[in-house]
Amino acid sequence: MNCLACEEKEMVPVFTDQGVEIDFCPDCRGIWLDKGEIFYFTKKPKQIQRELDEAIKQGTPSERISPRTGEKMLDIRLLNGNLTLDYSPTSGGIWFDGVELESLATHFGTDFKLSLDRGTMRQEEPKVSVPASLSALPNLVFRSATVLVLLYGFLTLVLITLTLYTDLTPFFALTIGIVIATVQFLLGPFLTDISLRWFYKMSWVNYEELPASLTSFIRSTCKSNNMKNPRMGIINDGAPNAFTYGHTPNNARIVITQGIMDLLHDDELEGVIAHEIGHAKHWDMLIMTAAQLVPLVMYYIYRTLIRMKSKGEDKSAGPRLAIAISAYILYILCQYAVLWLSRTREYYADRFAGQVTRNPNRLSSALVKIGYGLAGKESEKQKGKKEERKPGLEAVGALGIFDPKSGVALVTSSVSSVSAAQKMGDEVDKEVLKDAMKWDLWNPWAKYYEIHSTHPLIANRITHLSTHSEVLGKEPYIRFDKRKPESYWDEFLADVTIRLLPALLFVPFLIAFVASQKMSWIGAGIFAAGVASFFRTKVAYRSAFFPDMAVSSLLRKVKVSGIRPVPCKVKGTIIGRGVPGLIWSEDFVMQDDTGIIFLDYRQPIPLWDFFFGLLRRAKYDNQEAEVVGWYRRAPVPYIELKSLMVQGEKEKKCYTYMAKYIWAGILAIVGLLMVL
C-alpha cells in the first residue's frame, strides 16, 4: 500500500525485533499498524486500549484516506491531547508519522518499544529464477513398496517372536492380522457411508445437481484416466472440506461440503476435486489402508500381551513383556512411517491436480482460502458482476484436503448465504498471505507438527504448486521472498522446556525414590510437578488483559505456539461448526472483516463439550459474537476460548484454564502432605 504522508511512495514490509512484521515508509519513516498490532509492542496494553477508546469517541474527520478501506480516517488525540494520530474506524488501523511514534515511546518509556530490523527492509523485488523443470518427487511406487515391505517385515518379525516365546499359535497370530485387515478394508467404506449420513448430515447427489462445469470436469478427467466417475456426496455445513474414500479407483466416493462450494470459484473447486481424484487414481485408498493396518495390529498385540494373565508359574511372563514393549515401540515407529508415506502421496495428488487442470494456481488459491482463512477484497470488476447477480472419519484422514487431526485447517470458510460469501471477496492480499506462511516456514513448531501430520504444511504445498505453475509457463501463485530475521529455536526450546517441566522435575525425585525406597521422595516429586504445572498454566494462559485484535493481525505473529499464546478479543460472525456437519461438534468458525479463524470451545470434562455441541451449539450460528481467549497455532491458527458473548444470550465461559490451576494446586498439596 502507499504511504499516507508521501502518497505515491509504496510502503515496504519490515520486521521488528519483537517478531512482528509492519508496514514502513523508508522516506518519511511513517508506520502503519493494523488493528491490534500496537499491543505487540507495549507492556501496558490495558492503558493504551483505554486511551484509544476515549480518543476514538472524540475523533474528528480527517482528510486522509485509509489505505486498507479507501474511506476517510479520523483524527484522534492521545496523551492528553498532545499526540494526534490518524485512525481507520472500519479496519482499526493506525498511522504513525515518525515523530508521533517517538512521542509515544517517550511517554511510556521502557513500557513501549518498537524497534525495526533494518535487514528486512526491502527496497526492490528480489530476482527469482524460473525453474527449467519440476523438481522430481520420490518414485511413488518405490517409496510405497519400501514402506509396506518395511512395515510388514516388522509385523512378521513380531508375529514370529510371539509364537516362539508365548503359548499363542501361529494360526492365532495370523488370524489377528487377517481379521483386522478384512474388516478395515471391506467394511470401512460402508461404515463411513453410514457415519456420514447419520452424524454429518451428508447426502448423495446426482451429477445433474452439481454445477455443470464441475460435472463436465469430473467426467472428462475420469475418462482420460480410465476411471469410473466417483460417487459424490455433499455435507450441508458452511465449513469447507473435501475428502475421498473407497476400495479402488472405480468405486471411490468424493465428499465435499456446502461451504467449499460457496467459498471457491469453479476453477478452484475443480483443483480441489482433481486433488481427490488423484488420490483415487494412485490407489491411495488401498495403499494407505494396507499401511495403516500394521501399526493397528502392533498396538493390538501390545494391548493383548499386557492384559494377558497365566495361571500358576508363568515362564513366559518375561518374554511376553519384552515383546509387548517391542511391539509398542514398533507401533510408534510404524505410525511415523505411515505419516511419511501419506505426506508423499499428498504431494502426488497436488501435482496430479496441477497436471489435469493445467493451472496449479487453482489448487493454491483454494488451499489459501481454506487453510489460512484468507480471501481479500473484491476487485471492481468482481463487484460489478455481483451487483448484476472428528470421530467417524479417521479411516479416510490421509485422503482429505487437510489433516483432520489439525481440525482448524478444515474450518476456514464462507457460509451458505450469498451476502456472506460475497463479503469474503476473491483477491487474496499476497503480503498478508506471506505473513501467514512465515510461521509454517520459520517457526520450528511447524516442522514438529508436520512430522505428526498426514499432510504437508500448507506453505510447503503452495510453494511446490507455485513452482509447477512456473514450469508450465504461468505466473506462480506466490513467491515467498521474505528474509528470516532471526532464529526461532530459542523460543521453541523454551516452549518445549515449559511443556515438559512437570515431568522433568518429577524424574529426579523418582530416581531418588528407587534408590532409597522412601515415599517422601515421591511426595516431593509430586509437589515439584504441581508447582511446575501451575507455572506452565500461568505461561500458557496469560490473562492480564485481552486487547481488541483482528484475524489478520494475529496471523502476522510468528512467535506464537500452543504454549506461547496471544491474549485477544475478536469480534465477528459465527459461520460454521468446527467439524463440518458433525451434529455434536462443539467448536466454532468465526469471520471478521479480515479473515476466518477457528474457535476452540473446551471444557474440563469432555462430556460437557459433547452435550453443548449436541444441544446448544446450533443457536450460535450466523450470530454476531465477541470472543475472548488465547490465539495459538498448532499448526494452523485458532483461538482457545475463555468466553463467548452473543447478543440475547448469556455469556458462555470455558473453565479449562481454571481446572488446570486447580489440578496443579491439588498436586502440590498432595505432595506436600506426603512429605510431611
Please give the biggest Cα pair distance in the chain. 92
Instruction: Please provide the DSSP assignment of 598-621 as one string.
Output: EEE---SSHHHHHHHHHHTGGGGT
Instruction: Please provide the CATH number assigned to the domain covering 486-676.
Output: 2.40.50.200
Quick: pLDDT tens for 314-335.
Answer: 666 777 788 888 888 888 888 8
SS3 420: helix
Instruction: Give the whole-angstrom CA distance, residue 110 versus residue 562.
Output: 28
Give the residue from 550, 500, 480 showing the smallest Cα distance to 68.
550
SS3 141: helix
SS3 444: helix
- Mean pLDDT for 205-226 is 91
Instruction: Give the whole-angstrom CA distance, residue 621 versus residue 456.
Output: 31
Place of cell 470455558: 654
For the chain, the distance separating the N- and C-terminal CA atoms, rounded to the nearest angstrom, is: 66
Instruction: Give the whole-angstrom CA distance, residue 88 versus residue 79.
Output: 19
Task: Answer yes or no: are the C-beta atoms of 552 and 595 closer than 8 Å.
Answer: yes
Query: Side-chain half-sphere of 431: how many Cα atoms within 13 Å?
Result: 13
Residue 228 CB coordination number (10 Å): 13
Cell numbers describing residue 336: 511415523
Taking 80 as the threshold, does the pLDDT of residue 337 lie above it? yes
Query: 255 pairs with which residues across the strands?
Result: 233, 243
Cell numbers describing residue 422: 460475497
Taking 60 as the threshold, does the pLDDT of residue 68 lie above it? yes
Residue 522 identity = I
Q: What φ, ψ does residue 73 adopt, rounded to 5°? A: -95, 180
Residue 546's pLDDT is 94
Residue 609 identity = D
Quick: pLDDT tens for 462-479.
Answer: 988 988 888 888 888 888
Quick: pLDDT tens for 414-443.
Answer: 222 222 333 344 566 777 788 878 888 899
Residue 226's pLDDT is 93
Residue 392's pLDDT is 32
Instruction: Give the whole-angstrom CA distance, residue 66 versus residue 93.
Output: 8
Cell numbers describing residue 583: 451434529
Query: Side-chain half-sphere of 660: how many Cα atoms within 13 Å?
Result: 17
Would you place residue 411 in the very low, low, confident or very high pLDDT band (cuts 50, 70, 90)? very low
Output the pTM of the full model: 0.77
Residue 421's pLDDT is 32
Query: Side-chain half-sphere of 106: how many Cα atoms within 13 Å?
Result: 9
Q: State CA 141 to chain mean position distance.
A: 30
Task: Answer yes or no: are the C-beta atoms of 629 and 639 closer than 8 Å.
Answer: yes
Q: Does the CA dihedral 222-226-229-231 come out positive or negative?
A: negative
Outline where 517-595 has alpha helix (H).
519-540, 551-555
Residue 315's pLDDT is 63
- Angle of helix 140-165 relative to helix 284-307, nearest 10 degrees, comes to 20
Task: Answer yes or no: are the C-beta atoms of 64 and 76 closer than 8 Å.
Answer: no
Q: What φ, ψ does residue 301 adopt, rounded to 5°? A: -65, -45
- Mean pLDDT for 263-271 is 88
* Active site positions, annotated: 276
Taking 70 as the threshold, does the pLDDT of residue 583 lie above it? yes
- Mean pLDDT for 607-618 is 89
Residue 147's pLDDT is 60
Taking 50 as the threshold, does the pLDDT of residue 78 lie above it? yes
**Average pLDDT for the chain:** 79
Place of cell 515362564: 315
Angle at 443 between CA 441 and CA 447, to 5 degrees: 70
- C-alpha distances in Å from residue 428, one per residue of 52, 77, 311, 368: 30, 33, 68, 8
Residue 423's pLDDT is 37
Instruction: Give the whole-angstrom CA distance, residue 38 versus residue 34.
Output: 8
DSSP strand pairing (637-646 vs 596-600):
parallel
Taking 50 as the threshold, does the pLDDT of residue 125 lie above it? no
Q: State CA 423 to chain mean position distance.
A: 23
Quick: pLDDT tens for 283-302.
Answer: 888 888 778 777 877 787 78
Q: How many residues does the chain have?
A: 676
Domain ranges for the chain = 12-120, 140-244+251-411+451-471, 486-676
Taking 50 as the threshold, does the pLDDT of residue 75 lie above it? yes
Taking 60 as the threshold, does the pLDDT of residue 34 lie above it? yes
- Whether a cis peptide bond, with omega within 30° of 0, leads into 45 is no
Instruction: Give the whole-angstrom CA distance, residue 114 versus residue 104.
Output: 10
Residue 160's pLDDT is 62
Instruction: Give the whole-angstrom CA distance, residue 94 versus residue 86.
Output: 6
Residue 368's pLDDT is 83
Residue 14's pLDDT is 82
Q: Is 358 left (phi over 0), alpha (psi -120 to 50) or beta?
A: left
Instruction: Give the whole-angstrom CA distance, residue 492 versus residue 498.
Output: 10
Taking 80 as the threshold, does the pLDDT of residue 100 lie above it? no
Taking 70 as the threshold, does the pLDDT of residue 207 lie above it? yes
Residue 403's pLDDT is 53
Of residues 29 and 601, more confidence is placed in 601
> Which range has highest mean pLDDT (298-302, 374-378, 641-645)?
641-645
Say what percent of the chain tops pLDDT 70.
79
Query: Side-chain half-sphere of 156: how many Cα atoms within 13 Å?
Result: 6
Taking 80 as the threshold, does the pLDDT of residue 138 lie above it? no
Q: What φ, ψ does residue 256 adopt, rounded to 5°? A: -130, 160
Of residues 287 and 523, more confidence is placed in 523
Q: State CA 437 to chain mean position distance.
A: 12
- C-alpha distances in Å from residue 624, one per residue of 419, 574, 591, 631: 15, 6, 10, 19
Task: Answer yes or no: are the C-beta atoms of 195 and 584 closer than 8 Å.
Answer: no
- C-alpha distances in Å from residue 129, one per residue of 132, 136, 483: 9, 18, 17
- Mean pLDDT for 355-359 is 91
Say what percent of the chain tops pLDDT 90.
25
